[in-house]
Amino acid sequence: MLAKRIIPCLDVNAGRVVKGINFLELRDAGDPVEVARRYDEQGADEITFLDITASSDERDIILHIVEQVANQVFIPLTVGGGVRTVADVRRLLNAGADKVSMNSAALSNPDLVAEASGKVGNQCIVVAIDAKRSADDSRWEVFSHGGRKNTGLDAVEWAKRVASLGAGEILLTSMDRDGTKSGFDLALTRAIADAVSIPVIASGGVGSLAHLADGVQQGRADAVLAASIFHYGEHTVREAKEFMRARGIEVRL
C-alpha cells in the first residue's frame, strides 16, 4: 500500500534554514545541507525547501543549495519560493529539484501552471496555496506574496482550478495555524483533499505527533509537512512515523 508521506520543510533565507511564526519573526535553524542530511537519515520521505529570500540578488543561492543537497541526499526534493517563469522551473529541476512549487506567480498568471506542467510534466509542478479563514468564517481565502495580499479567491475553487490546469500536487498551508503549534486546519485540509483528484500536502500548525496523524486521518491529506517540531529536536521523523503507524497509518519505516 502507498505510504503517507512525512515531509520536513526547510524555509531558507539567504542560505540558512529559518523558522517564522505566522510568516514573521525568523529564527535560525541551521545549514540547509546538514539539516537535509539529518532528515534523510531519520527516514524523511521527501524534503521541501521554501526560498523565502526577499532579495533577488540572493535568489541564486538556492540553486547551489539544491545542487549540494541533491549530490548527497537521494530522496525527492521540492523547491519553492520566487518561481515566476518556466525558465525558473527548469533551472531548479536542472540543479537537482524533483518538484517545483509555485504560489504568487500561479495566482497572477494561472497559465504558468499549464505551461510549466506541459513542458516538464505535471508530476514536477506543485502549487502552494496559503489560505486563511474569511472574516465571516464562511470560507477560506487565498493569499499571495508570502501571505501579505488577500486575493479574495476561494481556496477550494482555486485548488480545483490549478488541478485542472495541470498541477501534480497541492501544498496547502493554513495561515491561521502556521507557527501556532495548535494543529492543522483539518476542515480546510479535508475540504481541499476531497475537492481534487491530485495529492494534497497539509501544512501549517503542527505542534505534536498527533497533529500529523490527524492531518491524514481527519484531513485526508496524502502527505504532512512540518518544520519546527523537527528543527528543534522535539521529535525525529522516525518518531513521527512510529506514532503514525501505531495509529494505523501506512508509513515507510
Partner 1 sequence: MKVLVVDYGMGNLRSVAKAVERVAPHAQVVVSDQAQALRDADRVIIPGQGAMHDCMREFMARGLHDALLKVAAEKPFLGICVGMQMLFDHSEEGDTPGLGILPGRVRRFPADMFDAAGVPLKVPHMGWNEVLPVKPHPLWQGIAEQGTAGERFYFVHSYYCDPADQAAVAARTVYGLPFTCAVAQANIAAIQFHPEKSAAAGLRLLANFIDWQP
Out of 45, 130, 178, 185, which one is annotated catalytic?
130
Q: Is 194 a catalytic residue?
A: no
Residue 159 or 175 with smaller CB distance to partner 1: 159
Minimum CB distance to partner 1, residue 13 (Å): 25
Residues at the site binding partner 1, with contacts judged by CB under 8 A: 1-5, 40, 45, 70-71, 74-76, 93-96, 98, 118-124, 168-169, 197-200, 220, 222-223, 252
Minimum CB distance to partner 1, residue 249 (Å): 11
Residue 119 or 145 with smaller CB distance to partner 1: 119
Residue 14 or 75 with smaller CB distance to partner 1: 75
Per-position DSSP letters for the chain, written without gaps between them? -PPPEEEEEEEEETTEEEEEETTEEEEEEE-HHHHHHHHHHHT-S-EEEEE----GGGTTHHHHHHHHHHHH--S-EEEESS--SHHHHHHHHHHT-SEEEESHHHHH-THHHHHHHHHH-GGGEEEEEEEEE-TTSSSEEEEETTTTEEEEEEHHHHHHHHHHHT-SEEEEEETTTTTT-S---HHHHHHHHHH-SS-EEEES---SHHHHHHHHHTT--SEEEESHHHHTSS--HHHHHHHHHHTT-----
Residue 37 or 181 with smaller CB distance to partner 1: 37
Q: Is 11 a catalytic residue?
A: yes
Minimum CB distance to partner 1, residue 145 (Å): 28
Minimum CB distance to partner 1, residue 59 (Å): 20
| Active site amino acids | 11, 130
